[in-house]
Copies of this chain bind each other. A is one copy, B any other.
């Protein structure tokens, strides 16, 4: 049984990536970040998902990306609401956090070396929401190449790193169907960019809209809404 490091945000995509990692037979070590995001609801979701899917360890690393500034996810900038698909596709969204995936993958790389793990899983996706540059396949390939030159274990031939991005070319509906088949309880996840204090999704940000469209296309009900309907 080989170790793997899985980046786990608490969202729908990373929960599915974790399920795929477990299905492939890896011992999963989940890594989340308190990075100055405005909403810590997603870290609660990450902890629930990690427990439900069975990880060897769930580590939350503290870093402060706010100090560099410049994102609606970490600063008091309004999250855009009710945008259509074309508006979403037109430009890099203001919810982009500078170099976030590079920072996250770098920490995953450090942990992978200590664990003697060759495998890192990340739930990035290039189809549904192509605005993030650090979600593209050419970026992931370049990170993998760099990573294999970065570590002592790699330099000594003891480590051959592979960055797995199993959702890269799937639609949101395909991701949901895949996770559903693997038994992921999406009611535990959190996708909203602007949730209420209790974690209730706003229903209008880009992420909520893409999630709703994905469940509709997959022909499934989103169990997250059921959870909040029950608590009303």
Residues on A lying within 8 angstroms of B by beta carbon are 59, 61-65, 67-70, 92, 96-103, 105-107, 109-111, 113-114, 132-134, 136, 138-139, 142-143, 145-147, 149-152, 154-156
* Beta-carbon nearest neighbor of A145 in chain B: B142
Contact, CB under 8 Å: B106 / A99: yes
Which single member of B106, B114, B150 contacts A69 (CB below 8 Å)? B114
Contact status B110-A133, CB under 8 Å: no
Given A62-B64, A68-B111, A110-B98: A133 in contact with B146 (beta carbons within 8 A): no
Q: How many copies does the complex hold?
A: 2
Expressed in whole angstroms, the Cα–Cα distance for A105 and B36 within the complex equals: 19
Contact of B92 with A99 in the complex, beta carbons under 8 Å: no
Residues of B near A65 (CB, < 8 A) are 110
| Complex contacts, A149 vs chain B, CB 8 Å | 133-134, 136, 138-139, 142
Are A96 and B152 neighbours in the complex by a CB distance under 8 Å?
yes
A57 to chain B, nearest CB (A): 11
A99: B residues at CB distance < 8 A: 106-107, 109-110, 113, 150-151
Q: Please measure, in the bound complex, the distance between the C-alpha atom of A70 and the C-alpha atom of B152, giving whole angstroms.
A: 12
Known: A114-B68, A114-B69, A155-B92. A102 touches B133 (CB 8 A): no
A12 to chain B, nearest CB (A): 23
Q: Please tell me if the beta carbons of A152 and B59 are within 8 angstroms of each other in the complex.
A: no
Q: Are A156 and B92 in touch, CB under 8 angstroms? A: yes
CB distance from A133 to the nearest CB of B (A): 4
Q: Is B98's CB under 8 angstroms from A151's CB? A: yes
State whether B155 touches A146 (Cβ < 8 A): no
Q: Which B residue's beta carbon lies closest to that of A147?
A: B102
Cβ 8 A contact of A106, one of B103, B111, B145: B103
Partner of A70, one of B64, B114, B155, B156: B114
